[in-house]
Structure 1
Amino acid sequence: MNYQQLAEQIKVWATELGFQKAGICDVDLSNHEAELQRWLDAGYHGSMDWMERHGMMRARPAELLPGTIRVISVRMDYLPPEAQFASNLSDPNQAYISRYALGRDYHKLIRNQLKKLGQKIEQEVEQLGYRPFVDSAPILERPLAQKAGLGWIGKHSLILDKESGSWFFLGELLVDIPLPIDTPQEDQCGKCRACITSCPTNAIVDDAVVDARRCISYLTIEFDGVIPEQYRKAMGNRIYGCDDCQLVCPWNRFSDLTQQDDFHRRDSLANANLVTLFQWSENEFLKYMEGSAIRRIGHVQWLRNISIALGNAPYSIEIIEVLESRLGISELLDEHINWALTEQRAQLPRTVTSEQTKKNRLIRIVEKGLPRDA
């Protein structure tokens, strides 16, 4: 078997399957084990107990698939053409959703394409042991991508490519054949600290070290408890994830738009008005988020995140009304709604009396053509 020729063919197949880049590396991540243990010991993984539970297996791919000696690391771009970063973030009445989650969930799509890649390789060799992974197992995908030449680990801890920035997903195919390995890219961040200084909650505590407990992406997606008050104002209108560290990265000016229609913004998020999204019933949430990564956080956590954004929005009697309408669903949600109501009422001018507030409410009722006792 000419493994050099096979490696080159694998990269061609990967491109044909929709990946923008593929690289190959060995499975030795021993130099990352001490770093991983320090991160866990510091508690930076927050409530993600599974990260601690699997321990050093994350740095040992061969323990996931015995016999593995190579990892094929792939990249798939996800930046949608309707990104609207500045206009979305600057409008406090609009919800900001991390750009990776505007379309369909990427896990199934990438896993299926990796499986097809494994099948193509299997047809070329007498016997192949392989297994695809897409955020589905305890594996250090970024160090593997770095070793495979897909980029370097930036100071925000994401993989950066000098020709494509960082708006892409990663996936891995573990194999048991001795393919030639690729050369890692050199670190190109230099003295730039834009990602660190721009983080709204100061979650990047050192170069490539993120304290998840402070990270807005973690707080709005992985964390299902009471979000600490100290981070709520900084969250602004970010209701699912945060892209700030990528938005300021100079390398992202080279990013390409996705070639996958599935990653384009779904129609239900074209109007991301906070009040509108907050009024979705659970059935509407499940319907509009079908096939989306957002669906897995559930309706209550969705409302929790939006209630914080509503508290950060400019004063509006409509906001107060919709917030009050959701009280009583759960203690968790009530905690955040009451905070948002306090923030909204704090914006009222001191000259506005309770009688004036009642009058404003009455005016809204009349404008809607409803009876006065509605």
Structure 2
Amino acid sequence: MLPVEKYTQFIKQRTRELGFDYCGIAKAEQLDEDAYRLEQWLNKGMHGNMQYMENYFDKRIDPRKLVDNAQSVITLLLNYYPPEQQTEGAPKIAKYAYGKDYHEVIRARLNQLLSEMSEQIGEIHGRGFVDSAPVLERSWAKRSGLGWIGKNGNLIHKQAGSFFFIATLIVDVPLLYDPITGDYCGSCTRCLDACPTGALTAPTVVDGSRCISYFTIELKDQLIPDKMKGQFEDWMFGCDICQDVCPWNRFAKPHNDLDFTPVPEVLNFSTKQWEEMTEEEFKKIFRQSPLKRSKYAGIRRNLKFIKP
């Protein structure tokens, strides 16, 4: 077996053992088509107040500017579809935020994988990323053969849907690369039709500045514009509408990852309980949760906005 085959086999086996559901690998190179689309998206102001999206443009489109002599981009998918759903009538929270903050969970696993790769392969250089650096994760997932970009802008895996965290590991080692899959959205427009704020302006184009997730998470220390009143359908933190209506998510299966066990309060708190919660209680209950990103003040703002 050639070293490239041996190393690739080791990586794919080890990622499964670390709890990742899927692993795909692509050659590290500049993303020319994605560069054009990103530039157009930014020029149209679809990133809203997310100024950080304008930074490090060159690094976003070329992994070789993030890791010297980068050869391969390893993309990993981790299922977060919850085994339990929220109580009917509770303020809605995006499913990815039911359990622990995925950044910390996945970063630890990436670091472990990189360390074990160094032991197995020899001295290598690499960096792991999980939604916290200038990396176009979905583009690399597509290039790695893990699915296609759906009309809702999410990566869709043909056998498992779209409820996945995406992690990226860029390394200076050549590996075997996976073939790209096709696009299987067909003529379906359920996600575009279902978006209450019209954030899905065209297939695969998400106007971030009109997305419920943007208003409830990214728009910090500001009031939500009155013109959006009545359009949030009780979503207090994030939004899953465009994924919930996607036919491919009929294949989504509940995860069994203990790190993402739903926080009981996320599932069961009523609007009244959310409103009566103190800041001290919020910090204690959600100290390891993605909800801390909006902070106590942000959650109260969102609650007030979605209240009839």
Mapped pair 1:76 → 2:78:
yes
Mapped pair 1:168 → 2:153:
no
Residue 95 of structure 1: CA displacement? 0.6
Determine the structure 2 residue equivalent to 1:113: 109
Deviations 1:157-197 (A, max 9, x none): 11000100001100011100111110111101011110111
Alpha carbons 1:132, 1:173 under 8 Å: kept: yes
Determine the structure 1 residue equivalent to 2:50: 48
Alpha carbons 1:82, 1:264 under 8 Å: kept: no
Write the mapping of 1:218-257 to structure 2, written as runs, cut at 5 A: 218-224=214-220, 225-257=222-254
The amino acid across from 1:49 in the alignment is: Q
Alpha carbons 2:224, 2:305 under 8 Å: kept: no
In structure 2, stretches of 5+ residues that fail to align are none
Q: Which of 127, 137, 142 is residue 141 of structure 1 equivalent to?
A: 137
Residue 62 of structure 1: CA displacement? 1.3
| CA distance in structure 1 between the aligned counterparts of 2:158 and 2:127, rounded to whole angstroms | 29
Write the mapping of 1:21-36 to structure 2, written as runs, cut at 5 A: 21-28=22-29, 29-36=31-38
The amino acid across from 2:284 in the alignment is: K
Larger RCO, structures 1/2 (Cα 8 Å, 6+ apart)? 2
| CA distance in structure 1 between the aligned counterparts of 2:234 and 2:124, rounded to whole angstroms | 48
Alpha carbons 2:70, 2:170 under 8 Å: kept: yes
Residue 270 of structure 1: CA displacement? 3.1
Alpha carbons 1:78, 1:263 under 8 Å: kept: yes
Determine the structure 2 residue equivalent to 1:290: 287
In structure 1, stretches of 5+ residues that fail to align are 313-374
Alpha carbons 1:79, 1:263 under 8 Å: kept: no
Write the mapping of 1:196-211 to structure 2, written as runs, cut at 5 A: 196-211=192-207
| CA distance in structure 2 between the aligned counterparts of 1:285 and 1:256, rounded to whole angstroms | 30
| CA distance in structure 2 between the aligned counterparts of 1:185 and 1:230, rounded to whole angstroms | 40
Q: Which of 209, 213, 226 is residue 209 of structure 2 equivalent to?
A: 213
Determine the structure 2 residue equivalent to 1:57: 59
The amino acid across from 2:181 in the alignment is: Q
| CA distance in structure 2 between the aligned counterparts of 1:5 and 1:256, rounded to whole angstroms | 31
Residue 27 of structure 1: CA displacement? 2.1
The amino acid across from 1:10 in the alignment is: I
| CA distance in structure 2 between the aligned counterparts of 1:2 and 1:56, rounded to whole angstroms | 32
The amino acid across from 2:262 in the alignment is: R
SS of residue in 2 equivalent to 1:233:
coil
| CA distance in structure 2 between the aligned counterparts of 1:21 and 1:240, rounded to whole angstroms | 27
Determine the structure 2 residue equivalent to 1:300: 297
Larger radius of gyration: 1
Identity of aligned residues (%): 37
The amino acid across from 1:62 in the alignment is: R
Deviations 1:69-112 (A, max 9, x none): 2111000000111124xx63xx3xx2100011011100111111
Residue 113 of structure 1: CA displacement? 0.7
> How big is the alpha-carbon RMSD for the aligned residues of Structure 1 and Structure 2?
1.2
Determine the structure 2 residue equivalent to 1:336: none
The amino acid across from 1:126 in the alignment is: G
Residue 232 of structure 1: CA displacement? 2.1
| Structure-1-length-normalised TM-score | 0.80
Runs of 4+ that moved beyond 3 A: none
SS of residue in 1 equivalent to 2:9:
helix
Mapped pair 1:128 → 2:142:
no
The amino acid across from 2:169 in the alignment is: L
SS of residue in 2 equivalent to 1:127:
coil
